């Protein structure tokens, strides 16, 4: 197994050496732009790591890793339109830098290019990967729609929320590990353990994200602390607070949720206090632990060298414990 940075370098080198850079440039420039924005490359790194973990050749997994990274960046372009987001990774979003039409069309062609990357695999493997890819891609769209539906709902249950984040973010992490393992030639059963490991870790990561919205180090946090709170976003914390709040807490919480105008930091502080009184941070950390435990149970079933498994475990623990 290699250090994480080594996988990231492999991905970034592939991106740099395989720019789309085709005609018409108005269509393809946004693809090269967003692919070059960087990020942790978590998904493609997971494809490469899983292949490596299961004794495959990392080079064999690069195209599948790139297909998933290309797909992921397609979702970012379209999600940023839907969220009306001006900035992504510190840079102007595609629909702001160009326009909405270009962002729609460049996203579309990017999704097709993701499929095209998978054509390199031999028949049976290509079919297996395509089945996982289609299923996960459909689930990501479903998760995004369910998330948008939550905006106009006040009665989102915790299980609905977990279902949404599973579809919107966790399944692709599961799929990344599964695909990497299949390229290494493992059994369907082993691949399934990797999928479940990644999916449950993905849920834990997303819950950790929810936590970091309020409790990240503001110095290191790239975005506004409390952004989810300000926007009334139905995250684990708000849903749990709405479920548990009684009497004055319930009244105050609903007052803030319904306030049309407010001072942002006052709102963040007030809701933060309610969360504290209801022990929401503790409950959230319990939930993170719960899904991480489910993940580790799957991990225990994976038949690989102890040394390699330790590196994979370190990687996942690093993501679970991140402060920003």
CB contact at 8 A, 164 and 135: no
Task: Pick the closer one to a second copy by CB: 71 or 197.
Answer: 71
Cβ burial, residue 134 (10 Å; 0-12/13-18/19+): exposed
**For residues 174 and 254, what is the distance between their CA atoms, to the nearest angstrom?**
36
Q: How far is the CB of 81 from a second copy (least distance, A)?
A: 6
CB contact at 8 A, 129 and 179: yes
Q: How far is the CB of 260 from a second copy (least distance, A)?
A: 22
User: How far, CA to CA in Å, does 74 sit from each of 16, 114, 115, 319?
Assistant: 18, 9, 12, 23
Task: Pick the closer one to a second copy by CB: 85 or 279.
Answer: 85
Cβ burial, residue 158 (10 Å; 0-12/13-18/19+): middle
Task: Pick the closer one to a second copy by CB: 113 or 228.
Answer: 113
- Alpha helix segments (H runs only) across 19-122: 25-35, 42-53, 58-82, 94-97, 100-117
Task: Pick the closer one to a second copy by CB: 81 or 311.
Answer: 81
CB contact at 8 A, 197 and 174: yes
Binding site residues, a second copy, CB under 8 A? 22-24, 26-27, 78, 81-82, 100-102, 104-105, 107-109, 111-113, 115-116, 119, 123-124, 126-127, 130-131, 134, 137-138, 141-142, 144-146, 148-149
Report residue 87: phi and psi, to 5°. Answer: -130, 140
Q: Which helix (H) or strand (E) holds 88?
A: strand 87-88
**For residues 113 and 128, what is the distance between their CA atoms, to the nearest angstrom?**
18
Q: How far is the CB of 319 from a second copy (least distance, A)?
A: 27
Task: Pick the closer one to a second copy by CB: 36 or 82.
Answer: 82
Task: Pick the closer one to a second copy by CB: 71 or 205.
Answer: 71
**For residues 275 and 107, what is the distance between their CA atoms, to the nearest angstrom?**
38
Q: How far is the CB of 164 from a second copy (least distance, A)?
A: 10
Task: Pick the closer one to a second copy by CB: 141 or 320.
Answer: 141
Q: How far is the CB of 112 from a second copy (least distance, A)?
A: 5
């Amino acid at each position: 197994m290699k250090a994480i940075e080594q996988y990231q370098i492999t991905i970034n080198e592939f991106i740099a050496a395989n720019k789309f850079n085709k005609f018409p440039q108005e269509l393809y420039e946004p693809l090269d732009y967003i692919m070059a924005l960087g990020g942790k490359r978590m998904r493609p790194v997971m494809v490469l790591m899983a292949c490596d973990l299961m004794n495959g050749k990392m080079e064999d997994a690069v195209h599948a890793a790139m297909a998933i990274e290309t797909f992921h960046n397609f979702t970012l372009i379209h999600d940023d339109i839907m969220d009306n987001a001006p900035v992504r990774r510190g840079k102007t979003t595609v629909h702001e830098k160009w326009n909405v039409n270009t962002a729609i069309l460049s996203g579309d062609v990017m999704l097709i290019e993701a499929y095209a990357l998978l054509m390199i695999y031999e028949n049976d493997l290509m079919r297996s990967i395509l089945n996982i890819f289609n299923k996960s891609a459909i689930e990501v769209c479903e998760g995004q729609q369910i998330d948008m539906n939550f905006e106009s709902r006040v009665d989102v249950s915790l299980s609905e929320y977990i279902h949404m984040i599973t579809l919107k973010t966790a399944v692709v992490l599961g799929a990344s590990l599964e695909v990497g393992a299949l390229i290494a030639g493992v059994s369907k059963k082993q691949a399934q353990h990797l999928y479940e490991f990644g999916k449950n870790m993905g849920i834990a990561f997303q819950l950790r994200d929810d936590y970091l919205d309020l409790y990240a180090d503001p110095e290191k946090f790239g975005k506004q602390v409390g952004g989810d709170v300000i926007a009334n976003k139905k995250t684990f914390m708000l849903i749990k607070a709405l479920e548990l709040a009684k009497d004055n807490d319930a009244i105050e919480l609903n007052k803030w949720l319904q306030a049309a105008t407010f001072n942002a930091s006052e709102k963040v502080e007030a809701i933060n206090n309610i969360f504290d009184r209801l022990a929401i941070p503790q409950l959230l950390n319990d939930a993170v632990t719960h899904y991480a435990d489910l993940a580790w149970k799957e991990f225990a079933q994976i038949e690989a060298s102890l040394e390699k498994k330790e590196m994979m475990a370190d990687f996942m623990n690093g993501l679970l414990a991140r402060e920003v």
